[in-house]
Amino acid sequence: MARRRELGGIGAGRSFKARQFAAEVILWAVRWYLMFPISYRDLGLMLQDRGVGIAHTTLFR
């Protein structure tokens, strides 16, 4: 079974201040952007496929 790891000992609920999206969605986006050579537009499309409506400019910020 896979175990969930917490970032730096901080719970996922407290790791992003003033966030607009769930921490899990933010971590997906960061992980995919760093793992694969994709653009912000492509990343936005990948997230939309998973039910997260987000603009590529939001990802850039």
Which residues lie below 8 Å from residue 58, measured CB to CB, with a gap of 6+? 20, 44
Domain annotation covers residue 45 = yes
The domain in which residue 28 lies consists of 21-60
In a domain, 12, yes or no: no
- Asked whether the whole model's pTM tops 0.85, one would answer no
β strands within the chain, DSSP E: none
**Cα distance between residue 56 and residue 59, in whole Å:** 5
Decide if 11 is inside a domain.
Answer: no
> Looking at the 3D structure of the chain, how many domains does it have?
1
5 in a domain, yes or no?
no
- Model pLDDT for residues 6-58, shown as the tens digit of each residue: 555 445 556 677 777 788 888 888 888 899 898 988 888 888 888 888 887 88
Check residue 53 and give its pLDDT: 86
Question: Quick one: pLDDT at residue 35?
Answer: 92
Whole-number pLDDT of residue 47: 86
